[in-house]
A = this chain, B = another copy of it.
Protein backbone atom coordinates (compact mmCIF):
# COMPACT_ATOMS: atom_id res chain seq x y z
CA UNK A 1 0.00 0.00 0.00
CA UNK A 2 1.27 3.38 -0.93
CA UNK A 3 0.64 6.03 1.65
CA UNK A 4 -1.63 8.98 0.97
CA UNK A 5 0.53 11.21 3.04
CA UNK A 6 -1.49 14.33 3.73
CA UNK A 7 -1.02 14.52 7.48
CA UNK A 8 -4.16 14.26 9.55
CA UNK A 9 -4.68 15.07 13.20
CA UNK A 10 -3.15 12.40 15.39
CA UNK A 11 -0.94 11.01 12.65
CA UNK A 12 2.56 9.82 13.40
CA UNK A 13 4.27 13.18 13.07
CA UNK A 14 3.22 16.79 12.72
CA UNK A 15 5.40 19.86 12.42
CA UNK A 16 4.22 20.94 15.87
CA UNK A 17 6.98 23.44 16.54
CA UNK A 18 6.42 25.12 13.18
CA UNK A 19 2.67 25.38 13.73
CA UNK A 20 3.24 26.83 17.22
CA UNK A 21 5.66 29.39 15.81
CA UNK A 22 3.11 30.39 13.17
CA UNK A 23 0.46 30.85 15.87
CA UNK A 24 2.94 32.86 17.91
CA UNK A 25 3.78 35.08 14.95
CA UNK A 26 0.19 35.66 13.89
CA UNK A 27 -1.79 35.70 17.13
CA UNK A 28 0.20 38.16 19.19
CA UNK A 29 -2.17 41.02 19.76
CA UNK A 30 -1.69 43.32 16.82
CA UNK A 31 -4.23 45.97 15.92
CA UNK A 32 -5.77 43.74 13.19
CA UNK A 33 -6.08 46.87 11.10
CA UNK A 34 -5.95 45.04 7.75
CA UNK A 35 -8.72 42.50 8.43
CA UNK A 36 -10.77 45.30 9.96
CA UNK A 37 -10.44 47.26 6.71
CA UNK A 38 -11.46 44.22 4.63
CA UNK A 39 -14.55 43.76 6.81
CA UNK A 40 -15.55 47.43 6.76
CA UNK A 41 -14.93 47.81 3.04
CA UNK A 42 -17.05 44.71 2.34
CA UNK A 43 -19.79 46.05 4.64
CA UNK A 44 -19.85 49.30 2.67
CA UNK A 45 -21.16 47.30 -0.29
CA UNK A 46 -23.23 44.76 1.64
CA UNK A 47 -20.64 42.02 0.97
CA UNK A 48 -20.80 38.68 2.78
CA UNK A 49 -19.26 39.02 6.25
CA UNK A 50 -18.05 35.43 6.57
CA UNK A 51 -16.21 35.74 3.28
CA UNK A 52 -14.74 39.08 4.36
CA UNK A 53 -13.59 37.57 7.65
CA UNK A 54 -11.90 34.74 5.79
CA UNK A 55 -10.10 37.12 3.43
CA UNK A 56 -9.19 39.27 6.44
CA UNK A 57 -7.63 36.26 8.18
CA UNK A 58 -5.64 35.47 5.05
CA UNK A 59 -4.39 39.05 4.89
CA UNK A 60 -3.41 39.03 8.57
CA UNK A 61 -1.44 35.80 7.99
CA UNK A 62 0.35 37.45 5.11
CA UNK A 63 1.03 40.60 7.12
CA UNK A 64 2.34 38.47 10.00
CA UNK A 65 4.70 36.62 7.65
CA UNK A 66 6.19 39.96 6.61
CA UNK A 67 6.78 40.95 10.24
CA UNK A 68 8.38 37.59 11.09
CA UNK A 69 10.79 37.83 8.15
CA UNK A 70 11.49 41.57 8.53
CA UNK A 71 12.48 40.99 12.16
CA UNK A 72 15.10 38.34 11.27
CA UNK A 73 18.76 39.08 12.11
CA UNK A 74 19.68 39.30 8.40
CA UNK A 75 16.90 41.86 7.87
CA UNK A 76 15.94 44.52 10.45
CA UNK A 77 17.29 42.43 13.37
CA UNK A 78 14.57 43.19 15.90
CA UNK A 79 14.28 41.27 19.18
CA UNK A 80 11.00 42.84 20.23
CA UNK A 81 7.64 42.97 18.46
CA UNK A 82 4.42 44.13 20.09
CA UNK A 83 6.23 43.98 23.44
CA UNK A 84 7.21 40.32 23.10
CA UNK A 85 10.26 38.42 21.81
CA UNK A 86 10.20 38.10 18.02
CA UNK A 87 9.70 34.62 16.52
CA UNK A 88 13.38 33.88 15.91
CA UNK A 89 14.10 34.77 19.55
CA UNK A 90 11.19 32.78 20.99
CA UNK A 91 11.92 29.81 18.69
CA UNK A 92 14.97 29.76 16.41
CA UNK A 93 16.18 31.24 13.15
CA UNK A 94 15.23 28.30 10.90
CA UNK A 95 11.79 27.97 12.45
CA UNK A 96 11.17 31.70 12.00
CA UNK A 97 12.05 31.52 8.29
CA UNK A 98 9.74 28.53 7.87
CA UNK A 99 6.97 30.09 9.97
CA UNK A 100 7.02 33.12 7.66
CA UNK A 101 6.96 30.86 4.60
CA UNK A 102 4.11 28.87 6.13
CA UNK A 103 2.04 31.97 6.94
CA UNK A 104 2.55 33.39 3.45
CA UNK A 105 1.49 30.11 1.86
CA UNK A 106 -1.44 29.64 4.23
CA UNK A 107 -2.83 33.04 3.20
CA UNK A 108 -3.40 31.72 -0.32
CA UNK A 109 -4.81 28.44 1.04
CA UNK A 110 -7.40 30.41 3.02
CA UNK A 111 -8.43 32.64 0.12
CA UNK A 112 -8.72 29.78 -2.36
CA UNK A 113 -10.67 27.54 0.04
CA UNK A 114 -14.13 26.87 -1.38
CA UNK A 115 -15.98 27.03 1.97
CA UNK A 116 -17.37 30.55 1.65
CA UNK A 117 -19.93 32.23 -0.56
CA UNK A 118 -17.14 33.64 -2.76
CA UNK A 119 -17.39 32.87 -6.46
CA UNK A 120 -14.43 31.26 -8.24
CA UNK A 121 -14.05 34.56 -10.09
CA UNK A 122 -13.74 36.51 -6.82
CA UNK A 123 -11.34 33.95 -5.37
CA UNK A 124 -9.07 34.10 -8.43
CA UNK A 125 -9.19 37.93 -8.42
CA UNK A 126 -8.35 38.08 -4.71
CA UNK A 127 -5.41 35.70 -5.13
CA UNK A 128 -4.07 37.75 -8.03
CA UNK A 129 -4.37 41.09 -6.22
CA UNK A 130 -2.93 39.72 -2.98
CA UNK A 131 0.02 38.14 -4.78
CA UNK A 132 0.74 41.42 -6.55
CA UNK A 133 0.36 43.46 -3.36
CA UNK A 134 2.74 41.12 -1.53
CA UNK A 135 5.28 40.51 -4.31
CA UNK A 136 8.17 42.28 -6.00
CA UNK A 137 5.93 45.11 -7.24
CA UNK A 138 4.56 45.54 -3.72
CA UNK A 139 5.59 44.61 -0.21
CA UNK A 140 8.60 42.35 -0.89
CA UNK A 141 9.95 44.83 -3.44
CA UNK A 142 9.46 47.64 -0.94
CA UNK A 143 11.39 45.73 1.71
CA UNK A 144 14.22 45.24 -0.80
CA UNK A 145 14.26 48.99 -1.52
CA UNK A 146 14.24 49.58 2.25
CA UNK A 147 17.36 47.43 2.65
CA UNK A 148 18.99 49.34 -0.22
CA UNK A 149 18.03 52.63 1.44
CA UNK A 150 20.34 51.79 4.35
CA UNK A 151 23.25 51.90 1.88
CA UNK A 152 22.12 54.90 -0.19
CA UNK A 153 19.47 57.31 1.09
CA UNK A 154 16.58 57.77 -1.36
CA UNK A 155 15.18 61.18 -2.27
CA UNK A 156 11.61 62.22 -1.47
CA UNK A 157 10.08 60.46 -4.49
CA UNK A 158 12.11 57.35 -3.63
CA UNK A 159 10.84 57.35 -0.04
CA UNK A 160 7.23 57.77 -1.19
CA UNK A 161 7.55 54.87 -3.64
CA UNK A 162 9.31 52.63 -1.12
CA UNK A 163 6.66 53.23 1.53
CA UNK A 164 3.83 52.89 -0.96
CA UNK A 165 5.18 49.45 -1.86
CA UNK A 166 6.28 48.24 1.56
CA UNK A 167 3.32 49.44 3.64
CA UNK A 168 0.78 50.82 1.19
CA UNK A 169 0.30 47.78 -1.03
CA UNK A 170 -1.38 45.59 1.62
CA UNK A 171 -3.60 48.45 2.80
CA UNK A 172 -4.70 49.14 -0.77
CA UNK A 173 -5.44 45.44 -1.14
CA UNK A 174 -7.42 45.38 2.13
CA UNK A 175 -9.74 48.11 0.91
CA UNK A 176 -10.08 46.87 -2.68
CA UNK A 177 -10.72 43.33 -1.39
CA UNK A 178 -13.96 44.54 0.22
CA UNK A 179 -15.22 45.63 -3.19
CA UNK A 180 -14.12 42.36 -4.82
CA UNK A 181 -15.83 40.28 -2.12
CA UNK A 182 -19.04 42.22 -2.75
CA UNK A 183 -18.72 41.58 -6.49
CA UNK A 184 -18.38 45.27 -7.39
CA UNK A 185 -16.96 46.47 -10.70
CA UNK A 186 -13.95 48.46 -11.75
CA UNK A 187 -15.11 51.87 -10.52
CA UNK A 188 -15.74 50.88 -6.90
CA UNK A 189 -12.62 48.75 -6.83
CA UNK A 190 -10.52 51.68 -8.08
CA UNK A 191 -12.12 54.07 -5.59
CA UNK A 192 -11.47 51.79 -2.63
CA UNK A 193 -7.95 51.24 -3.89
CA UNK A 194 -7.34 55.01 -3.93
CA UNK A 195 -8.77 55.26 -0.41
CA UNK A 196 -6.34 52.50 0.60
CA UNK A 197 -3.46 54.39 -1.00
CA UNK A 198 -4.30 57.52 0.99
CA UNK A 199 -4.63 55.77 4.34
CA UNK A 200 -1.44 53.85 3.57
CA UNK A 201 0.43 57.13 3.29
CA UNK A 202 -1.20 58.36 6.49
CA UNK A 203 -0.31 55.11 8.24
CA UNK A 204 3.36 55.38 7.29
CA UNK A 205 3.59 59.07 8.10
CA UNK A 206 2.04 58.48 11.52
CA UNK A 207 4.48 55.59 12.03
CA UNK A 208 7.46 57.77 11.15
CA UNK A 209 6.18 60.52 13.48
CA UNK A 210 5.72 58.01 16.32
CA UNK A 211 9.24 56.70 15.75
CA UNK A 212 10.42 60.23 16.64
CA UNK A 213 7.90 61.17 19.35
CA UNK A 214 6.84 57.96 21.17
CA UNK A 215 8.79 55.69 23.49
CA UNK A 216 9.35 51.94 23.19
CA UNK A 217 6.95 51.07 26.03
CA UNK A 218 4.05 52.74 24.22
CA UNK A 219 4.95 51.25 20.86
CA UNK A 220 5.81 47.72 22.03
CA UNK A 221 8.88 47.84 19.81
CA UNK A 222 12.14 49.77 19.59
CA UNK A 223 11.78 53.44 18.56
CA UNK A 224 14.24 55.98 17.19
CA UNK A 225 15.59 53.22 14.95
CA UNK A 226 15.06 55.14 11.71
CA UNK A 227 17.27 58.01 12.81
CA UNK A 228 19.85 55.65 14.33
CA UNK A 229 20.12 53.83 11.00
CA UNK A 230 20.17 57.11 9.06
CA UNK A 231 17.06 55.82 7.31
CA UNK A 232 15.32 58.54 5.32
CA UNK A 233 11.71 59.28 6.23
CA UNK A 234 9.49 62.12 5.10
CA UNK A 235 9.45 63.33 8.71
CA UNK A 236 13.25 63.53 8.75
CA UNK A 237 13.29 65.21 5.34
CA UNK A 238 10.46 67.72 5.74
CA UNK A 239 9.97 68.12 9.48
CA UNK A 240 7.36 67.33 12.09
CA UNK A 241 5.16 70.36 11.39
CA UNK A 242 4.90 69.46 7.70
CA UNK A 243 4.08 65.86 8.60
CA UNK A 244 1.27 66.90 10.94
CA UNK A 245 -0.23 69.19 8.30
CA UNK A 246 0.12 66.44 5.67
CA UNK A 247 -1.76 64.01 7.94
CA UNK A 248 -4.66 66.52 8.11
CA UNK A 249 -4.62 66.79 4.33
CA UNK A 250 -4.64 63.01 3.89
CA UNK A 251 -7.56 62.53 6.29
CA UNK A 252 -9.55 65.09 4.31
CA UNK A 253 -8.62 63.44 1.00
CA UNK A 254 -9.67 60.04 2.36
CA UNK A 255 -13.09 61.40 3.36
CA UNK A 256 -13.53 63.05 -0.06
CA UNK A 257 -12.70 59.80 -1.84
CA UNK A 258 -15.61 58.05 -0.09
CA UNK A 259 -18.03 61.00 -0.10
CA UNK A 260 -20.03 59.38 -2.92
CA UNK A 261 -21.12 56.61 -0.53
CA UNK A 262 -22.67 59.01 2.00
CA UNK A 263 -23.21 57.96 5.61
CA UNK A 264 -22.40 54.30 4.85
CA UNK A 265 -18.72 55.28 4.65
CA UNK A 266 -18.58 56.90 8.12
CA UNK A 267 -16.77 53.97 9.78
CA UNK A 268 -14.10 53.80 7.09
CA UNK A 269 -13.55 57.55 7.27
CA UNK A 270 -13.26 57.34 11.07
CA UNK A 271 -10.71 54.57 10.52
CA UNK A 272 -8.64 56.91 8.36
CA UNK A 273 -8.71 59.40 11.23
CA UNK A 274 -7.67 56.72 13.72
CA UNK A 275 -4.78 55.67 11.49
CA UNK A 276 -3.52 59.23 11.16
CA UNK A 277 -3.82 60.23 14.81
CA UNK A 278 -3.10 56.96 16.66
CA UNK A 279 -0.67 57.01 19.57
CA UNK A 280 0.92 53.60 19.01
Enumerate chain A interface residues (CB-CB to B < 8 A).
Answer: 2-7, 11-15, 17-19, 22, 65, 69, 72, 74-75, 92-95, 97-98, 100-102, 104-106, 108-109, 111-114, 119-121, 123-125, 127-128, 130-132, 134-138, 140-145, 147-148, 154, 157-158, 160-162, 164-165, 168-169, 194, 197-198, 201, 253
Asked if A124 and B144 make an inter-chain contact with CB atoms under 8 angstroms apart, the answer reads no
Asked if B131 and A109 make an inter-chain contact with CB atoms under 8 angstroms apart, the answer reads yes
A109 to chain B, nearest CB (A): 4
> Inside 8 A of A22's CB, which chain B residues have their CB?
136
Nearest residue, chain B, Cβ from A93: B74
Known: A75-B94, A131-B106. A5 touches B145 (CB 8 A): no
Distance A108 CA – B112 CA, assembled complex (angstroms): 11
Contact of A69 among B101, B108, B143 (CB under 8 A): B101
Asked if B131 and A108 make an inter-chain contact with CB atoms under 8 angstroms apart, the answer reads yes
> Inside 8 A of A120's CB, which chain B residues have their CB?
119-121, 123-124
> Inside 8 A of A92's CB, which chain B residues have their CB?
74
> Inside 8 A of A7's CB, which chain B residues have their CB?
137, 141, 161, 165
